[in-house]
């Protein structure tokens, strides 16, 4: 369990028990607000933003049940976990019926107790500002990568070109405990095949003509950090075998080397190819595929997460406008609409490039569709003018809903209030406009 900057409450008068819980949770990155009597707890719980409360049943002034019932009056009561002695078991059961989350009978194993608290707290909340995207799929991906960052297994990131695989790998690195360690990115398709081995694994002096000095490869320079291999599907078969050995033995040989070099890093690989198909075609080793496919995540293409389009447009606009002299003040709604109806085959990279170009060349006050899509501006303008009233209404509605979702960090409930419609109606509209992934709770 690892929960940074998370706070739970503890109502416990026993000094030794209290201290051991506080210290143990501190090791897990959880801060504990500790009260030694019931009245103090009742007063402060409602204003303490707690994710869970651990409460002894016997307290010097009140009973744990009083603390629970008083706190339960507030609308946002965190889950209560009671600590009970043998004599209190009936009361603990009654409290569970009244809505308490669980109880632990003394004496208990602290590790089991911590696991239960971890379950009650749930995964860490996604931070207010998403890094990878606003769309529910991207928020889920962020949560998944945050969890995976704590492990040391190989991660396979699949996704179309330009969809943000490297950005996701860097996010994983930033979320891991070793974020101060190296992140070594290697694009297997960009380095000529005959050079890739020595770039990746290094070489000894004299290993081949021109090898005048020993060279440390990316795998070695990654140290205990991350070795990110992009376009893994492009790896030649000899190198596939060497990579398999690196994963299995956690060591490798520099070209021309006779001594195995330990690999202490974490391997993260990415592909835009369909690896199972490459395996079927005999172009990618099946054993290597299974080795790298321990944890796999897929980055959805931009067309499957339209909520992210206006958000990314604004980010890239601000970025480019901050770098260049421009008369532009912002993005027109027509440009936003055009971007929402475009398929983005080059995904985020294409969006970034198009926005950069628009800012560099745009002459008016607002980025217009023609600035972003010069190759089809005429066609688009006429398609827009000729669109049916229903099409126009739908695209305006879609844009407005996306704006509301952006303003409320993707909270459907809050967005529905902003839009003055019911949550179910908004949900239904989002489904119809292709703005959700089928999970009504997101
Ligand atoms: N969430 C994001 N926020 C801002 N920019 C992003 C995001 N995701 C990707 N980008 C930008 O989009 C471009 C492509 O991203 P990235 O290189 O991570 O994609 P990729 O899937 O690894 O591409 P390729 O398939 O070519 O290897 C980069 O300029 C990157 O900075």
pLDDT 10s digits, 285-304: 999 999 999 889 999 999 99
Distance (angstroms) between ligand 1 centre and the Cα of 75 equals: 42
Question: Using a 6 Å cutoff on CB, does residue 170 contact ligand 1?
Answer: no
The CATH architecture that domain 304-432 belongs to is Orthogonal Bundle (1.10)
Report the pLDDT value the prediction gives residue 359, as an integer from 0 to 100.
Answer: 94
Q: In the chain, what is the greatest distance between 2 CA atoms, to the nearest angstrom?
A: 83
Is there a contact between 329 and 365 (Cβ–Cβ < 8 Å)? yes
ipTM comes to 0.98
Of 58, 61, 60, 118, whose CA–CA distance to 92 is shortest? Answer: 58
CA dihedral 423, 427, 429, 433 (to 10 degrees): 150
Distance (angstroms) between ligand 1 centre and the Cα of 95 equals: 51
Distance (angstroms) between ligand 1 centre and the Cα of 353 equals: 11
Q: Which atom of ligand 1 is nearest to the CA of 315?
A: 4
Question: Using a 6 Å cutoff on CB, does residue 349 contact ligand 1?
Answer: yes
Question: Using a 6 Å cutoff on CB, does residue 164 contact ligand 1?
Answer: yes
Question: Using a 6 Å cutoff on CB, does residue 272 contact ligand 1?
Answer: yes
What is the mean pLDDT of the segment spanning 264-285? 95
Report the pLDDT value the prediction gives residue 4, as an integer from 0 to 100.
Answer: 47
- Tokens describing residue 275: 């690896």
- pLDDT, one tens digit per residue, over 416-438 is 888 888 888 888 888 888 787 54
Question: Using a 6 Å cutoff on CB, does residue 162 contact ligand 1?
Answer: yes
- Confidence band, pLDDT 50/70/90 cuts, at residue 385: low
- pLDDT, one tens digit per residue, over 69-122 is 888 777 567 888 999 887 788 888 888 877 788 888 888 888 788 888 887 776
Distance (angstroms) between ligand 1 centre and the Cα of 163 equals: 6
Cis peptide before 209 (omega within 30 of 0): no
What CA–CA distance (Å, rounded) separates 372 from 361? Answer: 10
- Tokens describing residue 315: 């980010």
Report the pLDDT value the prediction gives residue 134, as an integer from 0 to 100.
Answer: 84
pLDDT at 346 over 90: yes
Distance (angstroms) between ligand 1 centre and the Cα of 232 equals: 17
Distance (angstroms) between ligand 1 centre and the Cα of 42 equals: 49
| Domain boundary assignment for the chain | 6-121, 136-300, 304-432
Is there a contact between 246 and 200 (Cβ–Cβ < 8 Å)? no
Report the pLDDT value the prediction gives residue 379, as an integer from 0 to 100.
Answer: 54
Intrachain domains 6-121 and 304-432 with the same fold: no
pLDDT at 397 over 60: yes
Report the pLDDT value the prediction gives residue 180, as an integer from 0 to 100.
Answer: 76
Give the residue, by CA position, lying nearest to ligand 1 atom 13. 349
| DSSP string for 354-376 | HHHHHHHH--SSEE-HHHH-GGG
Helices and strands (H and E) in the chain: how many: 20, 14
Q: Which residue has the tokens 């380095």?
A: 191
Distance (angstroms) between ligand 1 centre and the Cα of 346 equals: 10
Range with lowest mean pLDDT among 71-75, 243-247, 312-316, 391-395: 71-75
Q: Which atom of ligand 1 is nearest to the CA of 348?
A: 12
pLDDT at 439 over 60: no
Question: Using a 6 Å cutoff on CB, does residue 351 contact ligand 1?
Answer: no
pLDDT at 222 over 50: yes
- Confidence band, pLDDT 50/70/90 cuts, at residue 30: confident
**pTM of the entire predicted model:** 0.67
Distance (angstroms) between ligand 1 centre and the Cα of 162 equals: 5
Give the residue, by CA position, lying nearest to ligand 1 atom 23. 162
Distance (angstroms) between ligand 1 centre and the Cα of 161 equals: 8
- pLDDT, one tens digit per residue, over 144-164 is 998 888 888 899 999 999 999
pLDDT at 124 over 80: no
- pLDDT, one tens digit per residue, over 165-187 is 999 999 999 988 776 789 999 99
Residues with Cβ within 8 Å of 128's Cβ and at least 6 positions away in sequence, in order, are 409
- Confidence band, pLDDT 50/70/90 cuts, at residue 263: very high
CATH number of 6-121: 3.40.50.2300
CATH number of 136-300: 3.40.50.300
Q: Which residue has the tokens 């089928």?
A: 438
Question: Using a 6 Å cutoff on CB, does residue 39 contact ligand 1?
Answer: no
Give the residue, by CA position, lying nearest to ligand 1 atom 8. 164
Q: Which atom of ligand 1 is nearest to the CA of 163?
A: 21
What CA–CA distance (Å, rounded) separates 442 from 438? Answer: 9
pLDDT at 393 over 90: no
């Amino acid at each position: 369990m690892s929960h940074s900057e998370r706070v739970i409450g503890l109502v416990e008068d026993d000094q030794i028990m209290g201290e051991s819980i506080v210290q143990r949770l501190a090791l897990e990155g959880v801060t504990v607000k500790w009260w030694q009597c019931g009245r103090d707890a009742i007063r402060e719980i409602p204003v303490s933003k707690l994710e869970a409360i651990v409460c002894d049943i016997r307290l010097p002034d009140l009973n744990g049940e009083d603390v629970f019932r008083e706190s339960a009056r507030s609308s946002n009561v965190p889950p209560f976990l009671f600590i009970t002695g043998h004599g209190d078991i009936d009361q603990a059961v009654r409290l569970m019926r009244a809505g308490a989350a669980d109880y632990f009978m003394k004496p208990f194993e602290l590790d089991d107790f911590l696991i239960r608290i971890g379950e009650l707290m749930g995964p860490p909340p996604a931070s207010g500002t998403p890094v990878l995207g606003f769309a529910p799929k991207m928020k889920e991906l962020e949560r998944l990568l945050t969890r995976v960052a704590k492990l040391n297994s190989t991660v396979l990131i699949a996704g179309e070109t330009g969809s943000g695989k490297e950005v996701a790998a860097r996010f994983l690195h930033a979320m891991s405990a070793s974020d101060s360690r190296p992140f070594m990115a290697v694009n297997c398709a960009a380095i000529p095949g005959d050079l890739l081995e020595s770039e990746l694994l290094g070489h000894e002096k004299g290993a081949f003509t021109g090898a005048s000095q020993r060279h440390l490869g990316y795998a070695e320079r990654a140290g205990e950090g991350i070795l990110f291999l992009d376009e893994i599907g492009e790896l030649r078969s000899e190198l596939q075998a060497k990579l398999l050995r690196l994963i299995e033995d956690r060591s490798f040989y520099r070209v021309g080397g006779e001594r195995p070099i330990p690999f202490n890093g974490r391997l993260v690989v990415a592909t835009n190819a369909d690896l199972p198909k490459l395996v079927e075609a005999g172009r990618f080793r099946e054993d290597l595929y299974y080795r790298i496919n321990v944890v796999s995540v897929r980055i959805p293409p931009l067309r499957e997460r339209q909520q992210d389009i206006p958000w990314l447009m604004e980010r890239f606009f601000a970025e480019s406008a901050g770098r260049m002299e421009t008369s532009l003040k912002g993005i027109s709604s027509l440009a936003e609409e055009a971007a929402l109806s475009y398929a983005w085959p080059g995904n985020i990279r294409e969006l970034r490039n198009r926005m950069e170009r628009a800012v560099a060349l745009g002459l008016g006050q607002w980025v217009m569709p023609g600035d972003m899509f010069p190759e089809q501006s005429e066609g688009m303008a006429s398609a827009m003018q000729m669109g049916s009233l229903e099409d126009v209404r739908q695209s305006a509605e879609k844009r407005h809903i996306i704006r509301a979702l952006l303003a409320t960090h993707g909270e459907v409930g809050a967005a529905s209030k902003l839009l003055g419609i019911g949550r179910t109606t908004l949900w239904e509209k989002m489904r119809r406009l292709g703005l959700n992934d089928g999970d009504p709770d997101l």
